[in-house]
Amino acid sequence: MTVKVYPSLLVLFLTNTVWTRNVRQVYDVMDPEDWSLFTFECPQECFCPPSFPNALYCDNKGLKEIPAIPARIWYLYLQNNLIETISEKPFVNATHLKWVNLNKNKITSNGIEEGVLSKLKRLLYLFLEDNELEEVPAPLPTSLEQLRLARNKISRIPEGVFSNLENLTMLDLHHNKLLDSALQSDTFQGLNNLMQLNIAKNSLKKMPLSIPANTMQLFLDNNSIEVIPENYFSAIPKVTFLRLNYNKLSDDGIPPNVFNVSSILDLQLSHNQLTKIPPFNAHLEHLHLDHNRIKSVNVTLMCPTSIAIEDHSSYGNMPHLRYLRLDGNEIQPPIPLDIMTCFRLLQAVVI
């Protein structure tokens, strides 16, 4: 692998950058006078730090059940236990919960008591990764901002489960067992403020239907997608980060201008079956095409068609591409030097 660094500003690699909106970190502090409303009881299985009285640490304790949660708790840490069920009883007094981490337990869909989660009216973050769920839990609290369900056995999404989650900004369903049939045209209806959707490492053969319009990050890596419908991204005009690595995309499965979308800044198409570089928009900054079947780099075809090479007098008029990855293809270096004629902001090419 050869890395060519072109003299310019410091190279900035954003290959694995994942962001959401400035997520409000909910480590709020109550007015000390308010603590007088609560007793300072602490389940003996857990740790209650005096300096952080609204947090309860019950992680890595070998627990098989959730202990009774005191009323003062906002942040509940129950990860890395042997918990199989979520029942209403432990949460009777926990009306202020904002953050619940139940990652790495043994929770099944049948083990979640109906309605128990929706009664947590102030919950913002729910972590249920690395469990044994077979479907998305329902109903969910309408206050949720992040729902993380990665690495379960989810193959079903109940109808209408997201319909009232207008506050949700992140939905992580990666590494589950979702088929195309699980994603209907109304599956994501109601997610009006969703910004990140991760459905990587499932069993999809088609691009999912009706992605929420405000989605900025769409991750579909490690599926079996072969075709992208024409004008697919016109329905998600804010998409900025798009990952389609490790799929089965060929040249025939990519319409000519499907990636010619001004909002896309980071496009990842690594480990597919492409033999040529697909057209892209002048605003694109990072392009990952490594480990395909590309044999040559044709700068004339590659340069965004909406940009005339001689019209580069200002930043706004020139292609924004800064990082290009082409290693693992059939390209023999060196690549044409006139690539810099078009991509004057280019800082690194990996071949």
95: tokens are: 């009306």
Report CA 173 to chain centroid distance, whole Å.
9
Q: Which amino acid, one-letter code, is at 265?
A: L
d(CA 61, CA 213): 42
Digit-by-digit pLDDT tens for the chain (351 residues) are 655 544 443 333 333 434 433 333 444 545 544 444 445 789 999 999 999 999 999 999 999 999 999 999 999 999 999 999 999 999 999 999 999 999 999 999 999 999 999 999 999 999 999 999 999 999 999 999 999 999 999 999 999 999 999 999 999 999 999 999 999 999 999 999 999 999 999 999 999 999 999 999 999 999 999 999 999 999 999 999 999 999 999 999 999 999 999 999 999 999 999 999 999 999 999 999 999 999 999 998 999 854 444 555 556 678 999 999 999 999 988 888 889 889 999 999 999
Which residues does residue 57 pair with via DSSP β-bridges, in sequence order? Answer: 47, 77
Ordered by start, the domain boundaries in the chain are 40-132
CATH code of domain 40-132: 3.80.10.10
Q: Cα separation of 263 and 278, whole Å?
A: 16
Residue among 154, 185, 180, 179 nearest 171 (CA): 154
Global pTM reads: 0.87
Amino acid (one-letter) located at 195: M
What one-character-per-residue DSSP string does 90-154 give?
A: GGTT-TT--EEE--SS--BGGGB-TTTTTT-TT--EEE--SSB-SB--SS--TT-SEEE--SS--
Q: What is the DSSP letter of 288?
A: E
Q: Specify the amino acid at residue 301.
A: L
Report residue 317 as tokens.
């008029």
